[in-house]
Amino acid sequence: MVQVRVLGPVSVSTDDGRELAITGPRLRTLLALLALRAGAVVPTGPLIDGIWDVDPPTGVENAVQALVSRLRAAVGADRVVKDGAGYLLAVEPAAVDVCRFEQLVVEARRLGSAGQAEPAVRAVELALAQWRSDALTGVVASAAMRSLVAELTERRLAAIELRADLLSALGRAEEALSDLAQHSMAHPFRETLAARRITALAASGRKSEAFDVYRHTAELVRRELGVQPGPALHAALTSIDTDEATPSSPPEPPGPQRLPRDSLRIQQDSARPVPESAVESRAAAGPVSRAGAQAVPRRWTSFVDRERDLDRLTRMLRCSALVTLTGTGGVGKTRLATELAAAQSDWPDGCVFADLASVAPQREEDASTPSSVPAALLSALGLGGSGDAADWRAVLHRSMGHARMLLILDNCEHVIDAAAELTAFLLRHFPLLTVLATSREPLGIDGEKLYPVKTLALPEPGAPVETAAESAAVRLFVDRTRAVRPDFLLTDAECADVVTVVRRLDGLPLAIELAAARLHALPVRQLAERLPHRFRLLDSLGRNGAPRHRTLHAAVSWSWNLLSDAEAELARRLAVFADGAELDAIGAVCGGEDTVQVLTALVAKSLVEFDGRRYRMVETIRAYAAAELEAAGESRRMAAAHADHFLALMRDAAPLSLDERHRGAADLLTVEYANCQAALEWTLRAGDRERALGLYAGLARHWLLCGLRNEALTRQPRVLALLAIRFAPCPRGS
């Protein structure tokens, strides 16, 4: 027989008191998750959430099995059992301290309701004795585990309040003062706890101290929360004034629910840690009225290939108060958010959609003017006529209370500071609220979980029709094409052109949808051939979309116009790189100060992608940046700098190619092959003989080493043409 303890440091001991070695936060987390549902199967999904949060490693199922093996070695193989799609801890509930705690609290409430206050006090004191310190000490600090800590802490506080009520009923309120004082200091905004302390002080003849506690708590609530004290504090104050501090029978405070046996998931109203600035017992403030609130927008088209995103985001929202969908314009953030909201039923007060796209950015010179972002939220909540919008904090406090809802803040990027300030306020004061934001850059506040929305999976060039048809990008293209050509079929004849289209559009959903809309009057082959002019070609034929999504150009412009001068300068210069570049190359070619800082900002704003080594732009953004580079009059200078950099790279690699180390040179040029080719093409078009000859010589050596002789022969005539121009004979008679 073993004893498992989670109400303090997570540990296991034998009946004779010998501690078993449970080493490492992950192993302790596994034990805790199984112990909280002792005797019941815990699916692997919740185990993964608790141990690895939202970023599990590759092969996470194998990692779970390895941890289970370690736990079996520590506590005995027969005590950790594989059952279907999960595991169970084969011990009696009485062997787990949290189960004993719950059973004793239930018994104390039963006895108290039956008028047996004395045995009820003994039962609740035995329950509280199960606690050694803060719950789940030593586990992984994942969002799921923090939520469980908050839930268990809430149950402990409810038991402390129950003990105080029972002792007051027996005329022994003074015995509760030590616990009430200690926990009131740790939870200064829990008005129900402060109210019991006030009542106990008054019942003990210490009215002056009771008034001091009331004044301190009331002032704290007004100053920090901007609201008046709730009914619990008012009732405690009344009891002091009327000498009714000792009730004839204990009130029945709301009791904590048992940890669910069928799921590790904690209910939404108690899942996350309650911030200290949250009023924990404000019954006077009801949930926001749904009348007039802005519902999630209706979806008019099918939803293609985001099931994995939906599953992962559903898990994130279960244990995170704020999730932000990030990604480039047109990648599908808003659509993913609305689909996610439509699939959820976890919020009793529903989902509210606040579109910030129409909110004008606040100018620096108007910094003293209240932002329009809170006004947009009030309107979305149906509270637009609830008083002065400048006093939006008070309006929300009066109206939202403990509203349990999902709030979607859509398109935050152009009002990022105001959106971040509003979201931080909401999370601080409304702990039962879940916020799902969409933005082309993170909000950058504490507690934010980022979910980058990626472009759709692409087929390989030359993929057969059966394979191509399975890719997400092609599926979306075919689906949207059938909206304008219902008889469209993906055939062998058109497959290569469709693959070309979706690949050149980077798998960007908006671009694919705009391209498909063109097929009502344009063959696929012609569409593919015209993609170099994508911004003129891909304008919307519809009138009901948001202005920023009616054309591909507008979608990119929306992000581009939010850049600082330094960010816009570097972004347009990055267009010279054909396949991205490493940091050193960007610094050498693009110049400018604070390259790392500016690049970091461009990555955050979803205009540049970083894979851990190279920085890249998707082709649509690169095409926009190239147009900006041309408009700035920098195209030729940047192309020359780009050619010089990669010419120097090939010259440095040339000595390696003459000995046994030539494979290193080949590998180096393979990585930068697209950039070297682009540099050669520019010099040939520009008639830049010196650079063209140097680049061709370096690439020709690479082609020969790699067995690509035809590549050299294909470009040879254009290079020879440059030589002929250079060595043309002088005209006669000169």
In this structure, what CATH number is given to the domain that contains residue 434? 3.40.50.300
d(CA 331, CA 57): 25
**Runs of H (alpha helix) within 451-582:** 465-468, 472-484, 492-504, 509-517, 524-529, 534-537, 552-560, 565-573
Residue 725 reports pLDDT greater than 70 = no
- Please name the amino acid found at residue 96: V
pTM of the model: 0.57
Judge whether 273 lies within some domain.
no
Is the same domain home to 712 and 575?
A: yes
For 215-247, write each residue's pLDDT tens digit. Answer: 888 888 888 777 778 888 888 887 776 554 444
Residue 466 reports pLDDT greater than 60 = yes
Final residue in a domain of this structure, among 133, 165, 197: 165
Final residue in a domain of this structure, among 165, 194, 209: 165
For 256-299, write each residue's pLDDT tens digit. Answer: 333 333 333 333 333 333 333 333 333 333 444 444 555 566 56
Is the same domain home to 611 and 581?
A: yes
Question: Rounded to an integer, what is the distance from CA 729 to the centroid of its chain?
Answer: 68
Average pLDDT score, the chain: 82
List Cα–Cα distances, 484 to 277, 514, 519, 695, in angstroms: 54, 11, 7, 47
Please give the pLDDT value at position 734.
Answer: 45
Q: How many domains does the chain have?
A: 4
In this structure, what CATH number is given to the domain that contains residue 129? 1.10.10.10
Is the same domain home to 419 and 540?
A: no
d(CA 601, CA 444): 12
Question: Residues 225, 429: contact at Cβ < 8 Å?
Answer: yes
List Cα–Cα distances, 220 to 158, 187, 286, in angstroms: 22, 12, 21
Final residue in a domain of this structure, among 110, 130, 165: 165
Judge whether 221 lies within some domain.
no
Question: If you count them, how many residues does the chain have?
Answer: 734
Is the same domain home to 514 and 425?
A: no
Is the same domain home to 515 and 585?
A: no
Is the same domain home to 635 and 658?
A: yes
**What number is the average pLDDT over the span 669-678?**
86
Is the same domain home to 440 and 496?
A: no
Question: Residues 4, 95: contact at Cβ < 8 Å?
Answer: yes
Residue 120 reports pLDDT greater than 90 = yes
Judge whether 263 lies within some domain.
no
d(CA 544, CA 527): 24
Is the same domain home to 399 and 481?
A: no
Backbone angles phi, psi at 89, to 5 degrees: -95, 115
Is the same domain home to 478 and 340?
A: no
Edge-to-edge strands, sheet with 2-5: 2-5, 11-14, 19-20
Is the same domain home to 722 and 575?
A: yes
Judge whether 179 lies within some domain.
no
Helix (H) or strand (E) run with residue 81 in it? strand 80-83
Please give the pLDDT value at position 520.
Answer: 83
**What number is the average pLDDT over the span 564-586?**
93
Q: Following DSSP, what letter does each residue of 552-582 receive, concatenated? A: HHHHHHHHHTTS-HHHHHHHHHGGG-SS-B-
Judge whether 648 lies within some domain.
yes
For 612-671, write each residue's pLDDT tens digit. Answer: 889 999 888 999 999 999 999 999 999 999 999 999 988 877 655 545 555 555 566 778
Question: Residues 498, 468: contact at Cβ < 8 Å?
Answer: yes
Judge whether 398 lies within some domain.
yes
Judge whether 392 lies within some domain.
yes
For 528-561, write each residue's pLDDT tens digit. Answer: 888 887 877 776 545 555 555 567 888 888 889 8
Is the same domain home to 443 and 480?
A: no
Please give the pLDDT value at position 529.
Answer: 87
Percent of the chain at pLDDT exceeding 90: 42
Give the range of the structural domain holding residue 352, as residue numbers without chain letter. Answer: 307-362+370-452
Question: Residues 102, 109: contact at Cβ < 8 Å?
Answer: no
Judge whether 233 lies within some domain.
no
Is the same domain home to 378 and 433?
A: yes
- Averaging pLDDT over each range in 192-201, 395-404, 549-558, 711-720, which range is the top one? 192-201
